[in-house]
Structure 1
């Protein structure tokens, strides 16, 4: 599979799913993984709504670097169809909040208006801005990869 095929597959994975696993860490480096419903704006900005008291939000406040995985949980084992991302995340405020809510509420299945996601509302809007996309090399892990020279599962950088 060439890089173009891998990139098309990555875009299809993001387009075809609505939950991402958001990996964060606290100040001590203790990891936390959270499934969140997302709305993507292209393939480099992911929006979600969360309580400001949620563990992942508290972690992002002190350590904004996050890891994200989007995958189809119904896929066959060994199909390795996932997009891995490195990103920086944070709460939206001001004009960014207005734009983020426009994007999110335009695609999310919520009947609530934007006031619920503004202070003093119960939830806030967040965005992860992707700095790099990765996918697993499609070469079988039991055979040497002629391109990357490795015999175990490994990721390759892709442009989505």
Structure 2
């Protein structure tokens, strides 16, 4: 199972965008790609406007799903890590630390400052805290034995 956890870790480290899945109060789903920076494998940070659909959804329903994958790979070779998480706007007293993490994947010229993620500016800083990571095992993988792809939960704390 370590190979699957290693796959998940590599996908998180090597990719810049995640697909964020949210739902509104009535359960209507919405997905959107967002640039992200991880803090390890549990916390994922992004910047977004509070009036965007996904941000409004998070304000009313914090449970989210996340997928990270390399969309440039050949058909049939894709790998992805799927996550369940709870998301929210980062509290003001955590902005400096969280922005250091978020800005780490950005060119210096694109770094966000604390003032840029607070009113009256148009952006806010968000965090998703992952509660479960999983990957798909291909149907032909020797550990699968089912003949079709199957999802397996992986532990990224080890």
Separation of aligned partners in 2, 1:105 and 1:16: 15
Separation of aligned partners in 2, 1:94 and 1:115: 10
TM-score (norm 2): 0.90
Query: What residue in structure 2 maps to residue 158 of structure 1?
Result: 154
TM-score (norm 1): 0.89
C-alpha change, 1:122 and 1:30, in structure 2 (3 Å) is same
Pairwise CA distance, 1:144: 9.8
Query: What residue in structure 1 maps to residue 32 of structure 2?
Result: 34
Count of residues in correspondence between the two structures: 154
Q: Tell me, which stretches of 5 or more residues in structure 2 are unaligned? A: none
Q: Tell me, which stretches of 5 or more residues in structure 1 are unaligned? A: none
Please say if 1:145 is aligned against 2:141: no
2:69 corresponds to which of 49, 68, 71: 71
Separation of aligned partners in 1, 2:58 and 2:90: 12
C-alpha change, 1:39 and 1:144, in structure 2 (3 Å) is closer
Superposition RMSD in Å: 1.8
Helix, strand or coil for the counterpart of 1:107?
coil
